[in-house]
Structure 1
Amino acid sequence: MPNAWAYLALAVATEVAGLTAMKLSTESGGYAGHLVMYAAIALSYVFLARAVKTMSVGVAYAIWEGSGIALITLVSVLVFGHVLTLREMIGLAMAVAGILCVNAGEIHDDGAEAEAGDGRN
């Protein structure tokens, strides 16, 4: 399972890199940024696919998508000077809370599956 988390972290990082390259390429007008964007996002899906081999797809996708949104928003604020509105901050907080709930539910489900597998009910 530790490899799944490493792959998931790489999936998030490459997604953020790809989206950052997309924003940079729109500002510069060059096509090299588009190539970097496509390559990074494709690589992100490869890493995500590796993560879901041993991890629940629901948990992996929730973490990948939610973390990606939070991190790209952070990049947007720190690198591109975007100012977050209160509504955006509340939305991000809700996304993080949702990720935590999905992840907590997965831990609970694993325990229930382990008990069922032991033959004890």
Structure 2
Amino acid sequence: MTAISPWIFLGLAIVAEVIGTSALKLSEGFSRLWPSLVVVVSYATAFYLLALTLRAIPVGVAYAVWSGVGVVLIAVIGWLVFGQKLDTAALVGMGLIVAGVLVLNLLSKTSAH
């Protein structure tokens, strides 16, 4: 049996965190039960998967990818689902975040492959 790549764990951790953050918006300050429960379960799952990720990927690299991809995904969800506006500066900033994550993963020797 092949071991699961730590990058898969990191990707799933990011998805869980994005689900939790989206539910956080829907929880209306934890005043709605079901979205609040989704927040707790999603964040617990995200941190568990992140902990598994950190067995093989350096914490700085994992957190840079986690936060960068998470920021972009949440901004896109905010735009698509919640009707939040993204101006040119926001789009440029997110492009720079994506570029930074790509540089870190493709060019840095710090990243575990």
Q: Which residue of 2 aligns with 1:59?
A: 61
Give me the whole-angstrom Cα distance separating, in 2, the residues matched to 1:109 and 1:47: 20
Task: After TM superposition, give the deviation of residue 67 of structure 1 in Å.
Answer: 0.5
2:50 counterpart residue number: 48
Deviation at residue 23 of structure 1 after TM alignment: 0.9
Question: 2:28 maps to which residue?
Answer: 26
* Gap runs ≥5 in structure 2: none
Q: Bigger shift: 58-67 or 26-35?
A: 26-35
Higher helix fraction (1 or 2):
1
Q: Compared with structure 1, are the counterparts of its residues 27 and 83 closer, same or farther at alpha carbon in structure 2 (3 Å cutoff)?
A: farther
Structure 1, unpaired ranges of 5+ = 111-121
Structure 1 length as normaliser, TM-score? 0.80
Measured on the aligned residues, the alpha-carbon RMSD in Å equals 2.1
Deviations 1:22-76 (A, max 9, x none): 1111189413212211221121011011011011222111111111111111111
Q: Hey, what's the Cα distance between the residues in 2 that align with 1:96 and 1:14?
A: 19
User: Match for residue 9 of structure 1?
Assistant: 11
Identity %: 35
Q: Measure how far apart 1:20 and its partner are.
A: 0.7
> Which residue matches 1:119?
none
Relative distance call for 1:99 and 1:11 in structure 2 (3 A) is: same
Q: Counterparts of 1:99-118 in structure 2 under 5 Å?
A: 99-106=101-108, 108-109=109-110
CA gap 1:86/1:53 in 2 versus in 1, 3 angstroms = same
Match of 1:76 among 75, 78, 85: 78
Following TM superposition, where does structure 1 have runs of at least 4 consecutive aligned residues deviating by more than 3 angstroms?
Answer: none
Q: Could you say if the C-alpha distance between residues 57 and 24 of structure 1 is closer, same or farther in structure 2, counting changes exceeding 3 Å? A: same
Alignment-mate amino acid for residue 79 of structure 2: V
Compute the TM-score of the two structures, normalised by the length of structure 2.
0.85
Structure 2: which amino acid aligns with 1:35? Answer: L
